[in-house]
């Protein structure tokens, strides 16, 4: 089988922002075709240089967000892929799945206030320089959130480790956050720096038309991670 | 003697399925024998108000339906209009008023699911949802909890299935304390060559059942929605269906694949009256017979009777007609999405719907008489005695500024942020418009255009004068579509009304339609789909006529759209249209008189057909000036009048304004708060160009002042109101007025 592109977007049954991600990559200058990965496959296909777990309600998320997706065959493959240094990015539901799978530490639970919330939020890019030149340290960006279970929680020790190792890369820039996340956490990376989870949606902030295009650089950053430029 | 007895028995049995005396006579004539249980059930459902439109059919045909861009008019699952480039937009509105009273969350969620299926069953991918909600006047727990449930239900389904909710309205009035209005509209994008219709055909073709299994939920839902509420009815929970958005999502994705299959002849959602209406409508439209093998239908409960299977309204189900050669491929597509696809019958010659159980006939209905003998009522109508409310006007000594602040914080105008923040507006990545705007604007990148969508109602006017209300709601949608720079294309409507057996209600119903007809004819718009919800009454109290109208408009160049925000310092502020003066039935009149009851403060605008003509002239002119780039920001004048529109624009822009009106204007409350039609507030960088443009179009206008600073000053030397104060008035109103807060 010849690959159409080198970015894989996992489409769980119930995922609903896979096309949004593909579009965001496209307008960020990605010339290849995004391939949609089947969660029933065992492995990430050869040659895929970046795997994105998009937002949505995987398997309906009736029990707890991401808890079913975690046991899908492909998640095993993604664990192996990540262990080999492959880049994995989870957005919203994808972030929830990465946490459930143990690829990132902590958990996401129901928002304070008990409601689904959808609005643009101000986010502070943390100072660790994770995003390189794409976002300046301390920069304020606007992405929308759309989630019911986005409150980041972790035990004290985990929180301490995440903070001290500079692995919190994105924080809600309002008191208490939009959902009550501990330390206002909106995005974290793993120790290897190759697994990234963010709760807000950069893929819905790529319209220069709409005024907010702060999400573009997120995807430009992802593309910069890939070995061969298209 | 025995014949009479037989008929009496038939009437007793028919009543269980909502069939009246006259209708039982038709049953007798049609069947010529004692009908079996499942046959009665099918007839009862098909002849229910919900499926047969027996009260409204006669009048619905008054609404214009054709047009150059119309691909599919009323009668299909959804209406379709062409937007060029080989693409079309499929859209429709549906009500779930009765179920949302009984079980708010599920009622609303299944309402959203149902209208989405109507759209994607045609091969259109849903790209937007809208809703119109009316609740009780607030302050009581019933209203709060219903509102909470309905809003959560809409979000629960739409957010999960991944279709953004981009526009809508939420209203409150005591008239809806017992009967809420929950209308949902869905808009889908379809490649016209992939458009699928619901007409069965091809003798020997296979009938395929797809989706969730059939349970007892929703049995007799169509009959339930065709009657009013009596005390204790709220506990009829078994008539409400349960939503499964995850299943809906899989069904959506599978259907998007299946429509590309050549051998798919027809597809229809199993909505109201489930298997009954889908099979009857598909075969009747195709002029063919159909055979259904009920024992093959996947059941949730093993002991279900044929009539229960035929009436079940279990959600997330579709009926397909497929050529035998394609059957395997079609079933495989559904199986990949983890959905059951089962052969449950076939298309036959002749004109009967035959129902079989393990090969044995349990029912047989002649399709053509089922349609032709379908009851058609011309119900008694009677005009309400005209009440002279004796409204005198006056502000009770309040200044313009005081009235403004009171209106902004009042229940009718205060921010609905807490409602729409629970809806995912961004999924799909198409939304271009700002929140709170006149219409949602979507990016149709497939053909390089923009699509504007809007949904509105005007029951405050309709409650006083149904015809004016009908005119006003169509005009409001027109203005909303124009205000973002789009050319209105077509409409969909949901007529919500009370008990039509009340001659006053029936009179209003017809008047509403006539008003809508007049307006849509003048504006050159047709209704391509629609729905009717009658019997919105509890213990004899009917809701006022509440037509909800949705519209779509096209922007040939999406970069030329405007919003109600985005004004810059120094821009000129103008009002376009006749000078405001009409305060009858206005929000101003209600606020200043302290009278909440509709119909007590004078007559609404749109009392004459000439008001509509003006609407057209001004709408077309304003749209051209937006297209030409002369108007930089635009908002139509509606509820609350010109000043409210102006303030909404300033808040959206985060800027103040310095107006300079004369002393006489300043004291003229009709000027500020009148709700006359055909008016807009516009702002732009170049006053000269604006004047020239407006004069060229022959439109009346008035220069009000300029965008400046962070205060609103109404006349030279008057004390300004800060943006913060205006914002404070608008926010928080919902909590104060409805008692709706976090946790609900």
The reported pLDDT for the residue numbered B313 is 87
Q: What is the pLDDT of residues B204-228, one digit of tens each?
A: 999 999 998 898 876 766 666 666 6
Q: Which two tokens stand for residue B30?
A: 């049609």
Which residue among A115, A116, A209 places its CB closest to the CB of B432? A209
Whether residues B249 and A203 touch (CB distance < 8 A) is answered with no
Cβ–Cβ gap A61/B160 under 8 Å = yes
Give the whole-number percent of chain B exceeding pLDDT 70: 95
Residue B35's pLDDT is: 94
The answer to whether the Cβ–Cβ distance between A207 and B743 falls below 8 Å is: no
Note whether B16 and B455 are within 8 A (CB): no
Per-position b or e across B55-84, b if 16+ CB within 10 A of its CB: bbeebbeebbbebebbbbbbebbbbbbbbe
Q: Is the pLDDT of residue A31 over 90?
A: no
The tens digit of pLDDT for each residue in B127-154 reads: 999 999 999 987 788 888 999 999 999 9
Residue B561 CB contacts under 8 Å (≥ 6 apart), including other chains: B432, B433, B441, B450, B452, B484, B485, B486, B555, B626
For residue A189, what are the contacts with CB-CB under 8 A and spacing of at least 6? A104, A130, A167, A169, A195, A196, A197
Of residues B337, B423, B559, nearest to A118 (C-beta)? B423
CB contact under 8 A, A114 and B427: no
pLDDT (mean) for B516-541: 95
Are A204 and B161 in contact (CB < 8 Å)?
Answer: no
Give me the pLDDT at residue B738, please. Answer: 67
Question: In terms of Cα–Cα distance, which of B63, B71, B116 is closest to B93?
Answer: B116
Phi, psi of A208 (to 5 degrees): -65, -30
Q: Which residue of A has its CA nearest to B428?
A: A20
CA atoms within 13 A on the CB side of B131: 37
Q: Do A116 and B424 touch (CB under 8 A)?
A: yes
Quick one: pLDDT at residue A137?
87
Task: Give the model's pLDDT for residue B226.
Answer: 63
Q: Do B429 and A207 touch (CB under 8 A)?
A: yes
Mean of the per-residue pLDDT values of chain B: 92
In this prediction, residue B4 carries a pLDDT of: 84
Chain A residue with minimum CA distance to B742? A113
* pLDDT of the residue at B737: 67
Residue B239 has pLDDT above 70, yes or no: no
**Cα(B227)–Cα(B536) distance, integer angstroms:** 8
Supply the DSSP string of B143-161, one letter for each residue: HHHHHHHHHHHHHHHHHHH
- Residue B223 or B652, more confident: B652
Q: pLDDT grade, residue B359 (50/70/90)?
A: very high
**Pairing of β B181-191 and β A34-37:** unpaired
**With bands split at pLDDT 50, 70 and 90, how would you rate the model's confidence at B739?**
low
Candidates B338, B424, B743; nearest CB to A146? B424
Nearest CA distance, A114 vs chain B (angstrom):
6
Residue B194, both tokens: 């992939």
Show residues of chain A in contact with B155, CB under 8 Å.
116
Q: Do A24 and B429 touch (CB under 8 A)?
A: yes
Q: Is A201 a catalytic residue?
A: yes
Candidate from B234-243, B290-299, B529-538, B610-619 with smallest mean pLDDT? B234-243
- Tell me the chain A residues in contact with residue B160 when contact means C-beta distances shorter than 8 Å: 14, 16, 56-57, 60-61
User: Does the beta-carbon distance from B160 to A16 stay under 8 Å?
Assistant: yes
Distance from CA of A120 to the nearest CA of B (A): 10
User: What confidence score (pLDDT) does residue B156 get?
Assistant: 96
Q: Is the ipTM of this complex over 0.90?
A: yes
Q: A-chain residues within 8 Å CB-CB of B247? A: 60
Reported as a single tens digit per residue, the pLDDT across A61-116 is: 998 899 999 999 999 999 999 999 999 999 999 999 999 999 999 999 999 989 99
Q: State the smallest CA–CA distance between residue A40 and chain B in angstroms.
A: 11
> A116–B429: do the CB atoms touch at under 8 Å?
no
Average pLDDT of span B331-350: 94
Residue tagged active-site, from A18, A49, A149, A203:
A203
Among A35, A32, A20, CA closest to A202:
A20
Model confidence over B482-491: pLDDT tens digits?
999 999 999 9
Cross-chain CB nearest to A116 (options B159, B432, B559): B159
pLDDT band with cut points at 50, 70 and 90 for residue B740: low
How many CB atoms within 10 Å of residue B716?
Answer: 13
- List the structure tokens of B443: 């990016």
* Contact flag B423-A144 (C-beta cutoff 8 Å): no
Angstrom distances, CA of residue B487 to CA of B334, B433, B500: 39, 16, 36
Min distance A80 CA to chain B CA atoms (Å): 26
At residue B87, φ and ψ (nearest 5 deg) are -110, 155
Structure tokens of B235? 């506990």
Nearest CA in chain A to B432: A210
DSSP assignments along A50-93, one per residue: EEEE--B-GGGG-SSTTTTGGGSHHHHHHHHHHHTT-EEEEETH
What pLDDT does residue A6 have? 87
Residue of B nearest to A16 (CA): B162
Contact residues on chain B for A59, CB-CB shorter than 8 A: 246
- Identify the residue among A34, A91, A210, A215 best suited for mutation to test binding to B, counting B beta carbons within 10 A and taking the highest: A210
In this prediction, residues B644-658 reach a mean pLDDT of 97
Across the beta sheet with A168-172, the strand order is A34-37, A7-10, A50-53, A87-91, A195-198, A185-189, A168-172, A117-125, A140-147
Residues of B with CB under 8 A from a CB of A: 152, 155-156, 159-162, 244-247, 249-250, 337-338, 420-429, 431-432, 443, 558-559, 742-743
Answer whether residue A129 shows pLDDT above 80: yes
Catalytic member of A18, A92, A105, A147? A92
End-to-end CA distance of chain A: 20
* CA proximity to B552, closest of B504, B487, B498, B617: B487
Mean pLDDT of A151-180: 93
CA distances from B237 to B11, B50, B219, B241, B242 (A): 26, 19, 11, 9, 10
Say yes or no to pLDDT of A1 above 60. no
Catalytic residue at A203?
yes
The yes-or-no verdict on residue B470 having pLDDT over 60 is yes
Interchain proximity A118–B425, CB inside 8 Å: yes
B657 contacts B566 by C-beta, under 8 angstroms: no
Examine the pLDDT at B231 and tell me if it is beyond 70. Answer: no
Per residue in B40-86, pLDDT (tens digit) is 999 999 999 888 899 999 999 999 998 889 999 988 899 999 999 99
**Closest partner residue to A144 among B244, B245, B426, by Cβ?**
B426
Nearest to B246 among A24, A62, A113 (CB): A62
Residue carrying the six token digits 């309906």: A60
Q: How far apart are CA A170 and CA A139, in angstroms?
A: 10
Residues ≥6 apart with Cβ < 8 Å to A133: none
Residue of A nearest to B561 (CA): A209
**Could you tell me which residue, A176 or B525, shows the higher pLDDT?**
B525
Residue B335 has pLDDT above 60, yes or no: yes
At residue B209, the 3 state secondary structure works out as: strand
Does the pLDDT value for residue B254 go beyond 80?
A: yes
Would the CB atoms of B155 and A24 count as touching at under 8 Å? no
DSSP, res A4: S
**Residue B271, pLDDT score:** 82
């Amino acid at each position: 089988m010849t690959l159409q592109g080198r970015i894989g977007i996992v489409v769980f049954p119930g995922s609903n922002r896979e096309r949004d991600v593909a579009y965001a990559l496209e307008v960020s200058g990605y010339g290849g075709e995004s391939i949609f990965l089947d969660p029933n496959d065992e492995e990430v296909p050869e040659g895929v240089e970046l795997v994105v777990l998009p937002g949505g309600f995987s398997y309906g998320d009736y029990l707890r967000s991401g808890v079913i997706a975690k046991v899908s065959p492909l998640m095993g493959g993604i664990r192996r892929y990540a262990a080999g240094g492959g880049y994995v990015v989870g957005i919203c539901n994808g972030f929830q799945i990465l946490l459930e799978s143990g690829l990132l530490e902590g958990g996401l639970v129901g928002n304070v206030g008990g409601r689904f919330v959808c609005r643009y939020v101000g986010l502070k890019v943390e100072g660790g320089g994770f995003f390189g030149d794409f976002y300046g340290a301390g920069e304020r960006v606007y992405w929308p959130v759309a989630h019911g279970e986005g409150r980041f929680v972790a035990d004290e020790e985990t929180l301490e480790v995440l903070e001290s190792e500079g692995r919190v890369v994105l924080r809600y820039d309002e008191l208490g956050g939009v959902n009550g996340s501990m330390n206002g956490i909106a995005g974290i990376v793993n120790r290897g720096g190759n697994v990234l989870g963010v709760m807000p949606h950069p893929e819905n902030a790529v319209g220069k038309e709409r005024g907010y295009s702060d999400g573009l650089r997120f995807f430009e950053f992802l593309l910069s991670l890939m070995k061969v430029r298209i | 003697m025995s014949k009479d007895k037989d008929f009496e028995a038939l009437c007793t049995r028919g009543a269980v399925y909502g069939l009246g005396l006259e209708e039982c006579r038709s049953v007798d004539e049609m069947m010529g024998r004692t009908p079996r249980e499942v046959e009665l059930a099918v007839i009862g459902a098909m002849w229910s108000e919900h499926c047969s439109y027996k009260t409204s059919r006669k009048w619905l045909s008054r609404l214009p339906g054709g047009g150059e861009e119309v691909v599919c008019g009323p009668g299909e699952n959804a209406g379709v209009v062409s937007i060029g480039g080989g693409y079309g937009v499929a859209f429709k509105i549906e009500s779930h008023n009765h179920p949302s009273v009984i079980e708010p969350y599920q009622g609303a969620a299944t309402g959203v699911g149902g209208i989405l299926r109507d759209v994607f069953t045609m091969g259109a991918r849903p790209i937007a949802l809208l809703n119109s909600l009316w609740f009780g006047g607030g302050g009581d727990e019933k209203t709060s909890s219903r509102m909470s449930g309905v809003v959560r239900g809409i979000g629960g389904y739409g957010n999960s299935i991944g279709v953004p909710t981009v526009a809508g309205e939420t209203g409150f009035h005591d008239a809806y304390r017992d009967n809420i209005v929950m209308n949902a509209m869905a808009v889908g994008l379809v490649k016209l060559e992939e458009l699928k219709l619901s007409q069965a055909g091809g003798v020997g073709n296979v009938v395929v059942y797809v989706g969730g299994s059939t349970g007892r939920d929703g049995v007799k839902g169509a009959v339930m929605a065709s009657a009013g509420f009596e005390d204790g009815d709220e506990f009829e929970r078994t008539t409400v269906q349960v939503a499964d958005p995850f299943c809906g999502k899989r069904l959506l994705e599978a259907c998007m694949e299946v429509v590309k299959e050549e051998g798919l002849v027809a597809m229809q959602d199993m909505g109201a009256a489930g298997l009954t209406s889908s099979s009857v409508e598909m075969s009747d439209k195709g002029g063919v017979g159909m055979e259904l093998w009920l024992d093959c239908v996947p059941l949730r409960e093993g002991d279900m009777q044929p009539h229960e299977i035929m009436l079940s309204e279990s959600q997330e189900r579709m009926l397909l007609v497929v050529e035998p050669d394609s059957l395997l491929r079609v079933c495989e597509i559904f199986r990949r999405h983890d959905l059951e696809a089962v052969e449950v019958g076939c298309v036959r010659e002749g004109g009967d719907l035959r129902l079989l159980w393990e090969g044995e006939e349990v029912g047989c209905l002649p399709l053509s008489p089922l349609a032709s003998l379908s009851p058609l009522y011309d119900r008694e109508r009677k005009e309400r005695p005209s009440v002279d409310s004796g409204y005198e006007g006056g502000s009770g000594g309040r200044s313009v500024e005081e009235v403004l602040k009171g209106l902004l914080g009042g229940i009718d105008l205060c921010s609905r942020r807490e409602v729409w923040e629970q809806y995912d507006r961004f999924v799909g990545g198409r939304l271009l418009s700002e929140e709170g705007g006149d219409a949602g604007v979507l990016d149709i990148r497939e053909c390089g255009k923009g699509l504007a969508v809007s949904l509105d109602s005007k029951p405050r006017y309709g409650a006083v004068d149904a015809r004016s209300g009908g005119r006003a709601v169509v005009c409001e949608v027109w203005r909303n579509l124009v205000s973002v720079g789009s050319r209105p294309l077509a409409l969909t409507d949901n007529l919500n009304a009370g008990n039509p057996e009340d001659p006053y209600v029936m009179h209003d119903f017809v008047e509403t339609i006539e008003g809508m007809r007049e307006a849509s004819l003048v504006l050159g718009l047709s209704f391509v789909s629609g729905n009717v919800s009658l019997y919105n009454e509890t213990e004899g109290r009917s809701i006022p006529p509440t037509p909800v109208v949705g519209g779509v408009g096209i922007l040939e160049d999406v970069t030329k759209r405007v919003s109600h925000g985005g004004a810059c310092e120094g821009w000129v502020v103008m009002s376009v249209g006749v000078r405001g003066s009409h305060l009858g039935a206005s929000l101003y009149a209600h606020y200043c008189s302290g009278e909440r009851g509709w119909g007590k403060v004078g007559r609404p605008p749109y009392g004459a057909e000439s008001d509509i003509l003006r609407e057209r002239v001004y709408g077309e002119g304003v749209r051209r000036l937006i297209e030409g780039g002369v108007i930089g920001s635009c908002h139509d004048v509606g509820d609350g009048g010109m000043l409210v529109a102006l303030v909404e624009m300033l808040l959206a822009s985060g800027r103040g304004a310095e107006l300079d009106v004369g002393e006489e204007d300043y004291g003229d409350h009709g000027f500020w708060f009148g709700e006359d039609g055909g008016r807009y507030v516009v702002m732009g960088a170049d006053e000269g160009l604006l004047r020239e443009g407006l004069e060229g179009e022959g439109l009346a206008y008035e220069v009000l002042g300029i965008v400046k600073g962070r205060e609103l000053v109404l006349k030279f030397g008057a004390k300004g109101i800060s943006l913060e104060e205006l914002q404070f008035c608008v926010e928080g109103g919902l909590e104060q007025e409805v008692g709706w807060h976090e946790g609900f």
